[in-house]
Each structure stands twice: as C-alpha cells, then as structure tokens.
Chains A and B, each alone.
Chain A
Amino acid sequence: MSIPTHEEREEVKATLAFIRQTMESASSFTAISGWGLLGVGVLGLVASGVAARLEDPTTLRVWIPTAALAVVVAGVANAYKARRLDVPLWSGSFRKLVWVMAPVVVAGAVLTYALAGAGARALLPGLWLALYGAGVTAGGTLSVRAIRGMGLVLLAFGAAALLAPQWGSMLLAAGFGAIHLIFGILVLTRHGG
C-alpha cells in the first residue's frame, strides 16, 4: 500500500468516527441529560421536605405533581441535549425506553392504589423506589452505563425500604433526591452534559 497522504488519514479518521457515532446513535439513547437528572434530584429533595413538613411522607398531593414536573424537566433537558449533540431524540432506543418505563409506571399506580387502600402506606416508599429502580435498570441497557448503575442503586434502596419501612421516607429522599444528584453530576462530567 502506498503511503497515505495527510488528507487521506484525516478522511479515514472522520469515516471511522462517523461509523462509531452512527452505531451508538442507532443502538442507545445517548441524549440522557445530566442537568435533567440534577433537576429531578432537586425536585425529589424539595418534595421529600414538603411531604415531611406535612407529616405525611407518602402524600400523593405532593408526589404526583412532583412526578409530573420531573417528567417535564427531564424531557426538556434531554431534548436540549439531543439538539446540542445533533442526535435524534425520538429514536428507536428512546421509543424502547418509553415502552420499558410505561408498564412500570402503570404497575406503580395500581400497586399504590391497592397498598394505600389496604392501609399499608408505609410500604409505598419501598414500592416506588423498587419499581422505579427496576425500570431505570432495564431502560439503562438502552442508554449510557451510568443509568443502569443508578437503577441498581434505586432498586437496592427500594428493597431496603420494603424490608425496613421505618427508613422509608429517608430512603425516598436519598433515592429520588441525592442519587439523582450524584448520577446527574456523573453524566454531566462523563457523558457530555
């Protein structure tokens, strides 16, 4: 083979980068936003504080609006990052991610209704954390590795809160608040914002 020119070398590098980017973009949802996770974490901490002040750590008057707001915050932040990285937001992997999370949300709503009706509200923090953790862990297989790690930690927190319900409200604040903040910083620093 003749010696490649500088232009040819640069062209090969650009081609390989294009192949890598296309494969990543086609197989995983890379536009997960660290800022979005930080926003969700702040919302989680605020909601935990408000619920504690109301002396009802699992009050749905606080947690349902918080969950809705968290979806909006994460959605906007992810859309912004997707635009900045020039990757599609509504990609095949994002659609799969939605299909992973939607059944978890429905199961969570049904179980919340059933447990609250049966007078077992103390189990709600564990239930929410475990289900959310299971969804995030499964969804994490379609995104960056840090998300899978976050899911596993949330799952562990959920298991702990189910086994020791007296720690439920503290674990809820740690899971929906601190863990999102920690993994938000991780995604911010290691996965481009």
Chain B
Amino acid sequence: MAGSLAAEDLDRLIHERIRLGIVSALAANDSLSFADLKDVLRTTDGNLSVHARKLEEAGYIRVLKGFEDRKPRTEYRLTAKGRRALETYLAHMEQILSAAREALERS
C-alpha cells in the first residue's frame, strides 16, 4: 500500500499504513489503549510510538496518559481534525475510484 498512488492532494500523513490503521481504529472507538492498538495493528511498541507521535504532533489524535492498577496506561483518541482528515482521505479514495469507473464507461 501507499507509495505509487499518484495523487497530489492525498494526505501523506495518514496514507502511511500504520498511521492509517491508527486513525481508522480510533474512528471506530471512543478511545483505545496503546495495547489495544498494538493488538489490532500487529506492530511493535517502537513502530506504534513513532507513528502515534507524528499523528499527535499533527493534531490528529490526542494522547491521555494515566495509571491503571498502578501501571502506566496510554490512551489514544481521534480529534475532530483527525476525523476530518480521514473523511477527506476516504472522499479522495472514492474520487479515484469514480474517475476510474467513468473512464471505463467511456472506453
């Protein structure tokens, strides 16, 4: 996935697989813990941390740190900006498919 898709307007920040997975998983839940996201995305701690930080810096997700049973717990939530970014990204994907469909109909 990602890389070859020729689309100038594509949000490169969430086009990357892990970051797209984080945003998609959070769009389906109010919040998810670091462990939940790691389970869903089948990735390593380091990889998830790096990509989550990029999304946090962009304001797409919010990170809540706390404790549960005296153990540190990190919780992630999608922000309104992040949800809008995913919606725009999905709309863009739809546009590409529509353009392909129209081209097929014309040919």
Contacts from A to B (Cβ < 8 Å): 1-5, 7-9, 11-16, 18-19, 22-27, 88, 90-92
CB distance from A1 to the nearest CB of B (A): 5
The CA-CA distance from A142 to B69 in the complex, in Å, is 25
Chain A residues near B103: list those with CB within 8 A.
Answer: 3-4
A15–B6 Cα distance when bound, in Å, is 14
Residue of A nearest to B3 (CB): A11
A8: which of B6, B25, B26, B29 is its contact (CB, 8 Å)?
B6
Q: Mark B17-31, 1 if CB is under 8 A from A, else 0.
A: 100110011111100
Task: Flag if A15 contacts B40 (CB, 8 Å).
Answer: no
Interface string of B65-107 (1 = CB under 8 A from A): 0000000000000000000000000100101110110010000
Query: In B33-66, which residues have CB < 8 Å from any A CB?
Result: 33, 36, 39-42
Q: How far is the CB of A106 from chain B (nearest CB, A)?
A: 20
Are B36 and A91 in contact (CB-based, < 8 A)? yes
Once the chains bind, are A92 and B33 in contact (CB under 8 Å)? yes
Residues of B within 8 A of A19 (CB): 20, 24, 90
Chain B residues contacting A13 (CB-CB under 8 Å) are 97
Residue of B nearest to A22 (CB): B24
Interface of A is mostly: helix
Task: Note all chain A residues with C-beta closer than 8 A to B32.
Answer: 26, 92
Given contacts A88-B42, A92-B36, A92-B39, contact A11 B24 (CB under 8 A): no
The interface of chain B, by Cβ under 8 A from chain A, is 1-2, 4-6, 17, 20-21, 24-29, 32-33, 36, 39-42, 90, 93, 95-97, 99-100, 103
* A12 and B39 within 8 A (CB): no
Cβ contact within 8 Å between A12 and B41: no
Contacts of B26 in A (CB 8 A): 26
| Shortest beta-carbon distance from B101 to chain A in Å | 9
New contact pairs (10) apart from A1-B95, A1-B96, A16-B90, CB-CB < 8 Å: A4-B6, A5-B6, A8-B6, A9-B97, A9-B100, A12-B100, A15-B5, A22-B20, A26-B29, A26-B36
Of B1, B24, B27, the residue contacting A14 (CB under 8 A) is B1
